[in-house]
Structure 1
Amino acid sequence: MDEVQHLSGQCLCGAVQITATASNPILRACHCDMCRQHTSGMFVSISADPDSISVEGPAKSFRSSEWAERGFCPECGSTLWYGTVHDGVKNLSAGLFKGAADAPMKLEFFTDNCPQGYALAGTHKKLSTQETIALFAPQEGEA
């Protein structure tokens, strides 16, 4: 079993400090329209243990849809997290942590929305829009 990693990072100006632990630190990239509009590229998050996340400083969030919010620093504008409102889970921005905590890229969402100007290398799992939606919003009657 891997050792728990302690994450400690901050926004660009240092006004917001975030700490957490990660039992399985992996990177995930999202190419959906909202993530690309919010970050001007893909949003890369790092998995963290939900109950371990501590946010200090003037962090704010914007309710971007019925089910999600996006955290940011009101001082410098750094993206802090993508969160689901039904359970309060925050997917922390990998850029907050030096070297993205050296976590490996394991999953991409909405890969068919990825612009031609960039692509991630590697053999990680890549989900299309249809596959991503099926993962997070199963049809009625599906498990």
Structure 2
Amino acid sequence: MSAITLNSQCLCQKVRIQVAEAKPHVDSCHCSMCRKWSGGPLLAIDCGSNVKFEGEDNIKIFDSSEWAERGFCSNCGTHLFYRLKQTNQYIMPAGLFDSLDTSDSVEFTTQIFIDEKPRYYDFANQTKMMTGEEVFAAFAGDT
């Protein structure tokens, strides 16, 4: 499947987002940090590095680890991105993009940190499932 373009804004519309080349699949992260940040599993889309923001003065950054940071609107609190520092790759909450709600070209494909997923929920979708150890092993060569 080929890349898709996406546009969105935060709840207060002070931050606008343009994504040139998002991958056409949604993934879920069950790690404790993503769950704390999003209030549940993070359903996200890989938006690559070609992402533009308007209203950047309204974006607040939280340096969440050695390799990544998280951005949110300082006015309304909308979670905007998880960004890998070394590659400038933006992983963005799928819920930001209304166009994904009705898209037939986007699939739910992978769940990561499945070993940290709480027992109180399960997704019905058949997806690839990776533990935290498997995630770090798969991306070790990309750093």
Query: Aligned residue for 1:65?
Result: 65
The one-letter amino acid of 2:9's match is Q
Evaluate the alpha carbon distance shift between residue 93 and residue 23 of structure 1 in structure 2; reply closer, same or farther with a 3 A threshold: closer
- What's the offset of the Cα at 1:61? 1.3
Q: How many residues align?
A: 136
Change (3 A) 1:129 1:49: closer
Question: Shift of the alpha carbon at 1:20?
Answer: 0.8
Q: Which runs of 5+ in 1 are unaligned?
A: 139-143
CA distance in 2, matches of 1:100, 1:116: 27
* AA at the equivalent of 1:111: I
User: Structure 1 residues 49 and 88 mapped into 2: Cα distance closer, same or farther (>3 Å)?
Assistant: closer
Unaligned stretches of 5+ in structure 2?
A: none
- The two structures have a TM-score, normalised by structure 2, of 0.85
Q: Does 1:91 align with 2:94?
A: no
* TM-superposed deviation, 1:14: 1.5
Paired residue type of 2:66: E
2:136 to 130, 133, 138: 133
Counterpart secondary structure, 1:126 = strand
C-alpha RMSD over aligned residues: 1.8
Deviation at residue 99 of structure 1 after TM alignment: 5.0
Matched, 1:78 2:78: yes
Offset of residue 100 of structure 1: 3.2
